[in-house]
Structures are given as C-alpha cells and as structure tokens.
A and B are shown apart, each in its own frame.
Chain A
Amino acid sequence: MSAIALEVRNAIKTFNIEGGGTINAVDDVSFKVNSGEFVALVGPSGSGKTTMLSILAALLTPTSGEVLIDGQDLARLNERKRVKLRREKIGFTFQSNNLIPFLTAQENVDFMLRLNGKGNKAGRMRSAELLARLGLSDRLRNLPGQMSGGQQQRVAIARALIHNPPVVLADEPTASLDTERAYQVVETFANLIHENERAGIMVTHDLRMCKYVDRVLKMQDGKLVQIIDDKMEITKLAKGE
C-alpha cells in the first residue's frame, strides 16, 4: 500500500469579487494522492483547477480546510516555511516561461539541487543522466532559447523531479506543444512519476492527455464533481467517447 503524499480536506478558497460579494473558486474539495500515482485535474475554464493547483503548490492559502503535503499542513506554515516546502517537497512545471533563460538545460536542472544545497558533482551527474533519459543528452549545454517547446518542457520535467520531491505538479504542461510532442511529454512524465514513486498532479484542459494518468479528478464551479479511477473509463474519456 503506497503512502499518502498529498491530502486535501474540505478545502475552500473564497475570493472577493469586484462590485461586492464573494465567490468560492474552490468549494469544499477533498481528495488524496498516493506516492506513485499520477492524477489529472480536469475541468472547463473557471472550474477552479488552477486555483486548486496554486493551493497545492503552496502559492495560495485556502480560506478554510486542510492541505497536507508529506504530512505538513500548509495553513500552519509561515511564508518562510512555505518557500522551504516548495523548494524541498514540490516539483513544479508550468505552462510556459518554465526555464531560466540564461541557464543551460543542465544548469536549469542543477539549479533545483543548488536551491536545496546539493549542487555538487554527484548532483550534476544525476541531472545529466535524467536529461539523457529524457532524450536530451545532446542538449545539456543549450540555452532554453536554443531548444524547441517540447525539449524545454522535458527539461522542466527533469527540474521538477531531480530533487526527489514527494509531490510533482504540472500546470497545462502540453499547452504550447503539438499533439505528438504533447503525448511524448506526458508519457515521459507519467513514467517518471511511476518509477520514482512520486505523487503527480497534472492540470489539463486536454482530455486526450488523460490516457497516461491513473485517476481523473473533474472539477466544475469550484467543486470536485467526479472522480474517475477506472482505467477503461479513463481511456474512453481520453478518446472523447
């Protein structure tokens, strides 16, 4: 039985809206993600999935409820501890502007180790191996501007995993990629999540990408409206049936 890497209990995030009143962008959401499990968070625009991801990334505090990452309740952490948690316990890939433009592919990955005080020779060897695993062995010294969108996303994936965080988050990782590259990136991501026993959560609006996940969490109007964990059902969803 895999350990619970991430747990959300009755999370609510309320925003004030212009002209008065409030809106619950996340409304009483609860779920768990185990180590070695890859989950997709899907839903239409405005469904609250990005807000949920921001809460999971310790970038946003829930108005109420609990979010536990590796056993630590985010609501009880001050800003300094949240920064430390982001650095040590979370790997993150974003939609775009993922990489530091003046660092090479390997330096971008190594940077995560430097942040955690592990920027040594052994770390550099590991980052080179991981990038090779992602098919980027000939791109180690390339700057992001010298790589394609797909290659940049793979570097971002390597950066998200290099420091062995228990939780890996991906915000629309395929948004700027063509279909073929998108499948490659998500498949690689899924494989690494499974192999390294991490808990992976991917926010996506592209249901086709769900074919690689173990579970789909569907959000609508801030609520978690459906959890699909049957592989057949997930495949159907990914095929648009």
Chain B
Amino acid sequence: MRTFFLAFYLAIKEVVRNKGRFFLVSLVIALITLLVLFIAALGEGLADGNRQYVANLDAQLIVFLEKSDYSISASRLDTNTIRAVQRVDGVADAGEIFTSTSEIVSLDEPLKISMLAAEPGRPGMPLLIEGRSFRGGGASEVVIDEGVAQRTDIKIGDEIEIRSTQGTEDQFFYLKVVGLVPKQSYFFQPTIFVPQATWEKMRPQSEADLNDSTPYPNIVAVKLENPAQVDVMKDRLVAQVSNIEVADLETTINNIPGYSAQQSTVQTQGAFTLLIGILVIGGFFQIQVLQKVPQIGVLKAIGSSNAAVGLAAVIQIIVVTAIGVGIGGGLTYLFSLSFPPTIPLAFDGTRSVLAVIALLVIGPLGGMASIIYAVRIEPLKALKLS
C-alpha cells in the first residue's frame, strides 16, 4: 500500500508541477478521442441507417425467396408463403413486409424515404408512440417514423404528397398522417408505413408491373414461440415451406448491400486511429523517460523500489490519458450538438462506450515500453557511477 501511495505522490506531483507539458499531451489524446468517438459514432450511425428497421423487428427469423442470398431487395415471395409459414409448428406469429423507396414532395425540399408496408399488430410493424395505425384496404393513410418527423415539420393530421414513377410517368398520391413510430431507418432513409394495397398502388412500377395489382411481399418476419430455437426453426421452415430460405436477424443485417464493407471500413479507420494514439502516447512517454533517466536513477539509489517507479509511470499515464479522454469526450459532445440529423452520427451506441474503454487502455498500452524501460534503469548507470 505504501508503494502505491508513494507512486501516486510522485506521479501526481510531477503532473501538477509540469502542467503545461502534460496538458499538451492530454490535448493530443483529446483530439485522438474526438476522432475515435466520431468514427465510432459514424460507424454506429451508418449501421443504424442501414439496419435500424431490421434490427428492431419483433421477430427472430426472416423468410426470403429461395436463392435470393438473404437480400431483401432481391427477394419476392409468393402471396401464399405467409399462410404456409404461419402453419409451421413453433411459429408464434408472422408478418409480410413490402419494401420500396419513394419521395415526399409536399415540402420545400423533397425528402427521399423508404416506403414499407406491414400489417398492424404483426411482426414488421413497429409499435406506435403516437396516433393510431392506418386502416386496412387501400386507405390513404400513413404512419411516419421519427426520422421523417425530425427532418420535416410533418405531424399527425397533416397530409403529405408522394411522388411515384408509374410506368413512364410521375404520379402524385396524397396520404393523411395518422401515427408516429420510433426511428426506423432503412437503407439510410427515414421510413413511412402504408397499408399493403396502398403500397402496391403507390410503389414505383414498370409498365409491365402496372398490369398486376397483387402485392408480393419481399420478406416475411417470423416471431417464434421459443426464441432460443432459432436453428431448429430455420431448418423446420425450410423443410415445410417451399421456395424459401431463412436467416436470423444478424445474417439478414450482414447481407444488406454494402453493410459489411461499410462497417469494416469504419472499423479499420477506428483501429488505425487507436494505433496512432498508441504510437503518439508511447512516443511521448518514451521521450520523457529518456529525459528522466538520472532522476529515476536517484530514486532507485535512495531506495525506491522498481514497483514504485513502474507504478508511478502507470499512474501518470492513466491520469494524463483519462484527462485527455475526458476533454475529448466533452469536445465530442459539444461538436455533436451542432450536427444536423442528416449526418448519421449515433453517440448512444455500445461502440462509443467501447471506444472510450479502448482509449483508456491505449494509454498504458502505448506507455508500456517506457514503463518497462523505467523499471529496467540501473541506478549505477543512470548516475554514471559505473
């Protein structure tokens, strides 16, 4: 215990008496923190933008058209699939999901959106946080997500105008906003939910599609009676329902076009930034230890143990790193307040927490060489007595 207090005393005294020097290092760490947190938030934001709707589904499995490679946009299921899926033993509920893109034009700046159709109360339709669900059939009603609400001033009771290319002509549809659901970003776009028949009528269609008014779901979201039986149910569904393939949510997310490549790019950037952090901190503390060789020699010669000298270096690195991460975290928060919602930054994800932990670890990691060097200093050589 005495060793710890002694090390703490030495470490803190040195930091306090050399505030300027250590503050500069903390500032460098703060800038690295800022960069790392932004990259982490960007990764989280981009991931959310891509996967949020799928990740939030109240389901464990997704049914795709066979050989669609678990790609939602490539999958187009037969209209009977839902009934076949619902009949499989162990399925608690299932809901069809129809996806397409569209554009709200009744705004100063048109807003591109993902237009989804799902059955209220079934997997695929998020829970409402305000208002009511749309009526069935071909009702001209729409439920918007918070992403739409945040980017526009659209609110429940408003009427929105949707533009859709039908064949070779643009057509305009009017929908009444009746409900609001939490943010459900899909393909980086905010989302609206409409009844199936409305979706079929409004979705962009080719000339050939215009002759068929049957809505074909892209996927079916399956809620299991026992969520732990994912693998068993996957096999059972494939065996009992024809022309399908089944994936869990994680596989579905990873197969969203570009998702994996985008995430690995962001993660590589984050890892390189952390590596740079390790080198910067390591370099600084190594230079500092080299400058302090005689001083460490004196400390050892008068009876300080290696443990005290090493621990003092560790404490100093932790303190300087923690101050830097604290300043960096504060700066990140202040900067984040000034960013518009169109920039996909999410600071509430586990990635930000992991990034902070990683930043706190890189200090001692970066300073490891200097700590080992300090412990190995021989007082005899340091004091030039040999």
| Contact surface of A with B, Cβ cutoff 8 Å | 50, 53-54, 57, 59-60, 80, 83-84, 86-88, 90, 92, 94-103, 107, 112, 114-117, 143, 159, 171
**Which residues on the A side are within 8 Å of B383 (C-beta)?**
94-95, 97, 171
> Which residue of B17, B303, B304 is within 8 Å of A102 (Cβ)?
B17
Interface hub of B9, B17, B380, B385 (most chain A Cβ within 10 A): B385
The answer, yes or no, to whether B232 is at the interface (CB within 8 Å) is no
Establish whether residues B302 and A86, one from each chain, have CB atoms under 8 Å apart when the complex forms.
yes
Establish whether residues B380 and A115, one from each chain, have CB atoms under 8 Å apart when the complex forms.
no
The answer, yes or no, to whether B130 is at the interface (CB within 8 Å) is no
Known: A53-B385, A100-B295. Contact between A59 and B18, CB under 8 A? no
- Smallest distance from the beta carbon of B1 to chain A beta carbons, Å? 10
The answer, yes or no, to whether B14 is at the interface (CB within 8 Å) is yes
- Smallest distance from the beta carbon of B49 to chain A beta carbons, Å? 50
The answer, yes or no, to whether B13 is at the interface (CB within 8 Å) is yes
Establish whether residues B6 and A112, one from each chain, have CB atoms under 8 Å apart when the complex forms.
no
Other than the known A102-B14, A143-B17, what 4 A-B pairs have Cβ atoms closer than 8 Å? A50-B385, A97-B295, A102-B13, A112-B302
With CB as the reference atom, state the residue of chain B lying closest to A57: B301
Establish whether residues B380 and A60, one from each chain, have CB atoms under 8 Å apart when the complex forms.
yes
Can you list 22 A-B pairs with a CB-CB distance of less than 8 A? A54-B380, A59-B380, A59-B385, A60-B380, A60-B386, A80-B305, A86-B302, A87-B302, A92-B302, A94-B298, A96-B294, A97-B298, A99-B298, A100-B295, A100-B299, A112-B302, A114-B9, A115-B6, A115-B303, A115-B304, A116-B303, A159-B302
**Which residues on the B side are within 8 Å of A171 (C-beta)?**
383, 385
The answer, yes or no, to whether B126 is at the interface (CB within 8 Å) is no
**Which residues on the A side are within 8 Å of B295 (C-beta)?**
97, 100-101
Q: Using a Cβ–Cβ cut-off of 8 Å, how many residues does chain B contribute to the interface with A?
A: 24
A-B pairs with lowest CB-CB distance, top 7 = A87-B303, A97-B294, A102-B17, A86-B303, A102-B14, A59-B380, A54-B385
Q: How far is the CA of A59 from the CA of B298 in the complex (A)?
A: 11
Establish whether residues A92 and B301, one from each chain, have CB atoms under 8 Å apart when the complex forms.
yes
Q: Is the interface of B mostly helix, strand, loop or mixed?
A: helix
Known: A59-B380, A88-B303, A102-B17. Contact between A114 and B385, CB under 8 A? no
Residues 288-317 of B, flagged 1 when their CB comes within 8 A of A and 0 if not, give 000000110111111111000000000000
Establish whether residues A86 and B301, one from each chain, have CB atoms under 8 Å apart when the complex forms.
yes
Q: How far is the CA of A123 from the CA of B385 in the complex (A)?
A: 31
Q: How far is the CA of A171 from the CA of B301 in the complex (A)?
A: 12
- Smallest distance from the beta carbon of A74 to chain B beta carbons, Å? 14
**Which residues on the B side are within 8 Å of A98 (C-beta)?**
298
Known: A50-B385, A171-B385. Contact between A59 and B303, CB under 8 A? no
Q: How far is the CA of A117 from the CA of B305 in the complex (A)?
A: 13
**Which residues on the A side are within 8 Å of B303 (C-beta)?**
83-84, 86-88, 90, 115-116
Residues 1-34 of B, flagged 1 when their CB comes within 8 A of A and 0 if not, give 0100010011001100110000000000000000
**Which residues on the B side are within 8 Å of A57 (C-beta)?**
301
With CB as the reference atom, state the residue of chain B lying closest to A102: B17
**Which residues on the B side are within 8 Å of A84 (C-beta)?**
303
Q: How far is the CA of A59 from the CA of B300 in the complex (A)?
A: 9
The answer, yes or no, to whether B379 is at the interface (CB within 8 Å) is yes
- Smallest distance from the beta carbon of B16 to chain A beta carbons, Å? 8
**Which residues on the A side are within 8 Å of B305 (C-beta)?**
80, 83
> Which residue of B13, B379, B380 is within 8 Å of A103 (Cβ)?
B13
Establish whether residues A59 and B379, one from each chain, have CB atoms under 8 Å apart when the complex forms.
yes
**Which residues on the A side are within 8 Å of B300 (C-beta)?**
83
**Which residues on the B side are within 8 Å of A115 (C-beta)?**
6, 302-304
Known: A53-B385, A102-B14. Contact between A117 and B2, CB under 8 A? yes
B92-133 contacts to A (CB < 8 Å)? none
**Which residues on the A side are within 8 Å of B298 (C-beta)?**
94, 97-100
> Which residue of B6, B18, B297, B301 is within 8 Å of A114 (Cβ)?
B6
Q: How far is the CA of A116 from the CA of B9 in the complex (A)?
A: 14
Interface hub of B6, B301, B386 (most chain A Cβ within 10 A): B301
Q: How far is the CA of A90 from the CA of B301 in the complex (A)?
A: 10
Q: How far is the CA of A75 from the CA of B353 in the complex (A)?
A: 53
With CB as the reference atom, state the residue of chain B lying closest to A160: B302
Known: A88-B303, A115-B303, A143-B17. Contact between A54 and B6, CB under 8 A? no
**Which residues on the B side are within 8 Å of A97 (C-beta)?**
294-295, 297-298, 383
